[in-house]
Amino acid sequence: MAVNLNRVPVIREVACPRPTRVVSDASSLAGALRHVKGGDVIALEDGAYAGRFVATASGSPGSPIYLCGSPRAVLAGDGPRSGYVFHLDGGDHWRLVGFTIRNGQKGLVADSTVGSVFQGLTVEQIGDEAIHLRTHSTDNLVLANTVRHTGLRREKFGEGIYVGSAVSNWCRYTRCKPDRSDRNVIARNTVSFTTAEALDIKEGSSGGYVLDNTFDGSALRGADSWVDVKGNGWLVQGNRGTNSPGDGFQTHDVAKGWGQGNVFRRNVAEVHGPGHGFALRPVNDNVVMCDNVARGAARGLSNAQCVKPH
């Protein structure tokens, strides 16, 4: 699919309404999640919430469900080898805002969610990936989160933000069909100290946006770039990365028909490493605009000739 460069989404932060329920411990939070309905607003008091939390209810576009707290409200799992700290399992139109998720094998996993917003969260001290949109999760916004210290279980799986599923997992999650986690927006996040990619966009996912994020690859051990786009038709714009053991941004076509039609523009790649700022493998019809900047990239801006903006 072709990227329409004139239709970049306007992003607005959500504000949490007056709460309909206030919770102060893990038991009351788990109960609130079991009985929540569209339009409800759960507020987390500051403190520790130990356990694994699951939400399955759905809101609607006009009546989303809110779960809000400050960074001092901490959902803490059982350690980097055990479970998901927060699992949004099939629920649509959620607003998760402001709190901390810590100390699980995975931090926040969203399966089959539509129209949800994950904003201002701190996700840290995670065994594998911190935030994962999976199983046809579409039209969601991942906005202004702080993600750090992943890969404590296995460096290879320590992605910061992960969209979709690898082709090897399609039969597990999406009945052997591509995981169409489409049209998601990843914007204004700060991702650091991840052992694998800060952002991994899998084959099967199309039509998303990566806008104005900040990536630091100082801890990369299980990957060789901040961003790896294996889906189609993504716009990667206005991002800044520093420190990579390989390249800054990459594309790959690990499954037939994928890794195509992606556009990189107005990004700054402070690589300080041996690769390119933008490595397209293969080039296919992916595009690196000439308004991208690469510094400290031993092999230059890109392995593809850049395209001048209109």
Complete DSSP assignment for 233-258:
S-EEES-EEE--SS-SEEEE--STT-
Token representation of residue 119: 């904003």
| CA 89/CA 136 separation, integer angstroms | 12
Element (H, E) at 49: strand 47-50
Q: What percent of the chain stands above pLDDT 90? A: 97
Measured CA to CA in angstroms, residue 144 lies from 13, 69, 220 at distances of: 9, 15, 21
This prediction's pTM: 0.98
- How many residues does the structure list for the chain? 310
pLDDT digits (tens, 9 = 90+) for 135-185: 999 999 999 999 999 999 999 999 999 999 999 999 999 999 999 999 999
Grade residue 5 by pLDDT with cuts at 50, 70 and 90: confident
CA-based Rg of the chain, rounded to a whole angstrom?
19
The pLDDT assigned to 270 comes to 98
What is the chain's mean pLDDT, rounded? 97
C-beta neighbour count of 30 within 10 angstroms: 16
What pLDDT shows up at residue 277?
98
Using one digit for the tens of pLDDT, what is the confidence trace for 183-236? 999 999 999 999 999 999 999 999 999 999 999 999 999 999 999 999 999 999
pLDDT at 272: 97
Report the distance separating Cα 24 and Cα 184, nearest Å. Answer: 32
Flag whether pLDDT at 310 surpasses 90.
no
Bond from prior residue into 17 cis (ω within 30 degrees of 0): no
Closest CA to 241 of 285, 197, 306, 282: 197
CA dihedral (131, 142, 219, 203) positive or negative? positive
pLDDT tens sequence across 244-292: 999 999 999 999 999 999 999 999 999 999 999 999 999 999 999 999 9
**CA neighbor of 143 nearest in space, from 189, 101, 109:** 189
Tokens 């500051």 locate to: 46
Q: Note the pLDDT of residue 3.
A: 86
Mean pLDDT computed over 7-20: 96
Tokens 């996700």, residue located:
123
Instruction: Report pLDDT digits (tens) over 21-58.
Output: 999 999 999 999 999 999 999 999 999 999 999 999 99
pLDDT confidence tier of residue 1, bands split at 50, 70 and 90: low
